[in-house]
Structure 1
Amino acid sequence: MEQNVFLNINDKPNVVVVIPCYKVSLQIMEVINNIGKECDRIIVVDDACPEKSGALVERECIDERVTVIYNESNLGVGGAVLEGYRLALDFNADIVVKIDGDGQMEPSLIPKFIEPISQRQADYTKGNRFYYIPDLSNMPLIRLFGNAVLSFITKLSSGYWNIFDPTNGYTAIQASLIPHLSPEKVSNDYFFESDMLFRLNLLQAKVVDIPMTAKYSNESSSLKVRKVIPLFIYKNIKNFVKRIFYNYFLRDFSAASTELIAGFALAAFGFIFGAGEWYLHVKAGELASTGTVMVAVLPLVIGFQLLIAFLNFDLT
């Protein structure tokens, strides 16, 4: 994959901030005003906002760094961010930071997000609201539970086992990676952040968590948890299958590939054979012979051992 485009590690990167806007007219100006001098440009993306957030910014903002663009229709958070990414590339960005316009993400943390990338220690940084334990008491219970479940599922689908809080939208990316992400394939909805991790893994990009504290307002969210969680699970399973196929069969075929094939085959055989024999013997009122039990148990045990070996390989 490409390295950073900075001339040397001490160069100041060209930092562009992308702010997707949808129903954030009450908070957007405060967010913009709190963005520090380390950022060279600010792109406000009005995602067909019914509150006309973009027009508000153009009317009231005097910061010369700010550019407002408008989506003709609502593209979702992912679609809005990708539009901002495209313009950031036109501005010759080195690092692109994405921050929400609802005031729940502190702009003062931006230097912490760009430093690992500018120092070539990461290609992508993202926030982690679970790092500081005392702060978890302030997190809404539904967010706490949902993020815990989705974090584990996203670890499976993305291959980034060392990160947490995958739905966190506070991110920074090395701009040279953006064209290689196949932006037209990236999910436009609330799955955007998780899908980005999957695609970054395919590029073998280094991802680093940045500890942060989020603020939660009393504003109602447009995120419908009951509707979104099944969609997240489905899309994560889909990405998991694609990641395994791409990394272990299409791009490479290693010992881990054989462990996965043999482990799955043996475990499946042991389970199906054992379940079938158990049913037949229970129905007949008979005890299964030692040999029959071993034929079921041995492949099952060996299969699980091979799958654990594969998982260990994937973890490392």
Structure 2
Amino acid sequence: MAAQQKIAVVIPCFKVKAHILSVISNIGPEVDRIYVVDDCCPQNSGAYVKENCNDERVVVLYNPINLGVGGAVMNGYSSAIQDDISIIVKVDGDGQMDPNLIKKFVAPIINGEADYTKGNRFFDLEEIHAMPKMRLFGNAILSFMTKLSSGYWDLFDPTNGFTAIHRDVAKHLPFSKISNRYFFETDMLFRLNTLRAVVIDIPMDAKYGDEESNLKISKIVGEFLLKHTRNLSKRIFYNYYLRNMSLASLELPLGLFMLLTGTFFGISHWITSIASGVPTAAGTVMLSALPIILGMQLVLAFIGHDISSVPKRPFHLKTQFQR
């Protein structure tokens, strides 16, 4: 089965001239094609690769304007789909990702266990100390937000860009709607969940050299929060009201209504009690506490159902059976 699967690597290039040739040279023979995407790089990475790389597998693509990592990867995906590539791996051009791990990333897809695989730098606790503390903290926060918005509660390290995807899944993605820049990897997970694709983490070690990171946590917190909220709302609507209805579809709105009603009722009577100097009656306190408790239980029940609903049957296998 493995021999029938063509594998390609997509490498988005922007200010990675110092590392790109080394990355390409470390890609093993299991890969049939390498798409180097020059994302309007000021260092002219595409031309540099053409002049200095003799690997016949390399195809250089160009974005006429800088589209960000997402726009570069989508360009590579489109070319790979047109060339009938079975599995598309995305590797950064800055040397942080070990190309020797490509076999580990494609194996679950080849074996029919997953549609999409992504790296997880947090699997080996002994290696976490190598990650900068600010990046470690930021990834922990972003991971929790991503679990909520994407519905993949069993995943971690959402901003990890070392990924692999099956062609039959990639071609169903709305390329024009996926976020192009720093939110790209996270938005991909949301889009994959709308397809009910199976996603799994692949353990890997973090590598940090002299590469320059353009990601500033302080600048993207507000943007990420807004986009996570948008994706969470869309996912809940798609999965619990548009495509399907279940007990969880009732638990969430009822739970939120009771939680908010009890909270506002309690706060209003607390303010009145302070203003008048008269203690609030025990019955009034119970009328506030009871809907809060019941509402919290219903919301937790919804979350429990959501966690148990992580996709388990690979999407690309379903599409193959439908042909």
State if a TM-score over 0.5 links the two structures. yes
* Residue of structure 2 equivalent to 1:148: 140
* Residue of structure 1 equivalent to 2:196: 204
Secondary structure of the residue aligned to 2:42 is: coil
Q: Which runs of 4+ in 1 moved over 3 A?
A: 9-12
| 1:170 is the counterpart of 2:186 | no
* Residue of structure 2 equivalent to 1:40: 32
Where in structure 1 are there 5+ consecutive unaligned residues? 1-8
Residue by residue, what CA displacement relative to the aligned partner does 1:170-217 show, whole Å, maximum 9, x if unpaired?
000011111211111000011000000001011110001000012111
Matches for 1:120-131 after TM superposition, within 5 Å:
120-131=112-123
* Residue of structure 2 equivalent to 1:19: 11
Q: CA separation in 2, counterparts of 1:169 and 1:127? A: 7
More displaced stretch, 296-305 vs 213-222: 213-222
The percent of aligned pairs where both chains have the same amino acid is: 54
| 1:223 is the counterpart of 2:215 | yes
Q: TM-score, normalised by structure 1?
A: 0.96
Q: TM-score, normalised by structure 2?
A: 0.94
* Residue of structure 2 equivalent to 1:57: 49
* Residue of structure 2 equivalent to 1:3: none
Pairing partner for 1:79 from 71, 76, 94:
71
RMSD of aligned residue pairs (Cα, Å): 0.9
* Residue of structure 2 equivalent to 1:279: 271
Q: CA separation in 1, counterparts of 2:174 and 2:64? A: 22
More displaced stretch, 99-108 vs 286-295: 286-295
Secondary structure of the residue aligned to 1:185 is: coil
Matches for 1:179-194 after TM superposition, within 5 Å:
179-194=171-186
Q: CA separation in 1, counterparts of 2:50 and 2:247? A: 58
Where in structure 2 are there 5+ consecutive unaligned residues? 309-323
Pairing partner for 1:294 from 282, 286, 294:
286
Pairing partner for 1:161 from 132, 149, 153:
153
Secondary structure of the residue aligned to 2:200 is: strand
Secondary structure of the residue aligned to 2:4 is: coil
Q: CA separation in 1, counterparts of 2:254 and 2:48? A: 60
Give, in angstroms, the shift of residue 223 of structure 1.
1.5
Secondary structure of the residue aligned to 1:183 is: coil
| 1:248 is the counterpart of 2:240 | yes
| 1:100 is the counterpart of 2:104 | no
Pairing partner for 2:82 from 78, 86, 90:
90
AA partner of residue 194 (structure 1): T
